[in-house]
Structure 1
Amino acid sequence: MVPMLLRPCKALQLPRADWIFERRQLALCNGFHRTRSALIFSYPDEVKNKIHETLVLAMDHDAAMTRKSFAPLKKTPVKVSKKRDIHEFLDNAQDGAIYFSLGSNLQTDQLPAGPLTALCNALGSLKQRVLWKHNGNMAIHATNIKFVKWVPQQAVLAHPKVIAYMMQGGLQSLQEAVHYAVPVVAIPFFGDQYFNARKILDAGIGLTLNIDTITENSVVQTLTEIVKNKTYLNNIKTMSAIVQDELVKPIDRAAWHVEHVLKFPNSRHLRYHGHDMSWIHYYATYLCLGTGLILLLYIYYILYDKIVSPFVKITCLSNLKQWINNLKRKLD
């Protein structure tokens, strides 16, 4: 049973990953479009009118990430021998090695002092060796930790001594971890990293930590669970085998789609239908008009209740009093 402290509150607040994907597919396509969601980055105005997107390639896979997307382009592994010191460090890891990296957008020296100290103390107390991608100076120097500014990541993940990967939950890093069957511990910070962390928990290929509540004890417990419980390793091995067992290689499939579009440049069967959405639907004009009408009715109600209604009541009372007075005069 995994302690609840190993799982972040932010990730647990999300529903299951497949439920999220069915309702808002977050396919980051070629760095320009999230074509299946409402987040669409704009081209410059002078270019926008001349562009007719026909094909967008998304680096994703049915088994590892989602169920209706393009398979990732597999990359040729790089030999660790290009970094001799890393190669020797991993080879001599008798109890295995843990690879720690937060990607290229976030460096560990940007972390708050509390979480950074907790990570250093926790990783330094392990019997496994730790390869830590860190671009800066670290005051704590544990004998089992090696700090490096740059890492040949795929080569490190392919090394047989690497038994766990601590990462930020980035999509491409997660794909590489799945490809090389290395269980993961995700520490999400922003963007789709929380969604990917939820997918990691759903697939049973790793655990997650919350950077806001991370402690030395939680890090040690999480890594101990990942290393000792072979369920995570078995799950990610199965997923890796599924990802690599394909009739057509992803690079060949991508090449075929590109050539297919070039062969039929005026065809629209691969075109994203949302691109042809009318401005009425794009800006939800009917919703704006409906909201405006309701607002006007509300304002009319407030004005009538506060101004018109009292004035009408005063006028009616004044007329009633005048009529009663005239009636009294006639009776007299």
Structure 2
Amino acid sequence: MLSLLYRGRLASCNYDCPYCPFAKRKDDRATLKQDAAELARFVDWLRGQPEGRFNLLFTPWGEALTRRHYRDAIITLSHWPQVARVAVQTNLSNSPQWLAAANPDRVSLWCSFHPEETPRAGFLQRVQQLQALGVRHSIGMVGIRRFFGEMAALRQQLPPGTYLWINAYHDEGRRYYSAAELAWLGQIDPWFALNHQAPPSLGAPCVTGERVLSVDGNGDIRRCHFVPAVLGNLYQPALANPLQTRACPNRRCDCYIGHAHRPDLPFQQAFGLGTLGRIPEVFHWQAPADWQPAPPAPPSPSSRVIRLVAY
């Protein structure tokens, strides 16, 4: 089975998250029209492929599910025998009731909760709709300190079988978290440590370029989103560079979309067919005996002992 990560030219988003460089960006009508045409070409290409061959992830820079052409494409693809699973990244701002027309066995949503953009109660209502529709999903947040209270509350209100992933916040450096905070975040997301500090990637084995490919709106193929070299074009009769195992050329790969495909890390085994939707094969969260709604506060500068040494 070949996994395709499709990222078209869509970059507009209806949210204004300060930690996202694409917040509140608006694509003009011409861009949206071209994005829809390129997506239609991609879907049409899949129609002519062998059955059961593809696992798909739509991973746009913007929010896809506010756009009808993405919703229609997901519904269509979920019913085709060529597609084993189709996943999409979304902020879940759009009602998921449109998924009633999809095949729930083949659709999964990788959902992110942004507490400064939408109330938790409303977000949880949409999660409940996904559950009623039988659509697989995972939920996630950015691990910023001011979100810790919402993070704990969300974890306690989600069903135990729903995985809540945490993306490490690196904008203020890799020493942003205290040891107590790292331990607390690891109680919520058992794979958080690998997101916060993934092992060095240079030379590491990776199945991107062999069993996983990134495709853009033009059909250009790269091994993944983070390696710019073009291997060929999806709509040409042959690849310029054949599919084969390639070691990672980057020093570090912090993003789940990238390091999830390293066979030396646990994701392939733990997530299986749910890897593209960031959904573990088996998951059950249970609050540890010492669970607290927030980690211990880091020491304030005024509480630190300062030693002056004379030379």
Normalised by the length of structure 2, the TM-score is 0.30
Query: Is the radius of gyration larger for structure 1 or structure 2?
Result: 1
Between Structure 1 and Structure 2, the one with more strand by share is 2
Larger proportion of helix: 1
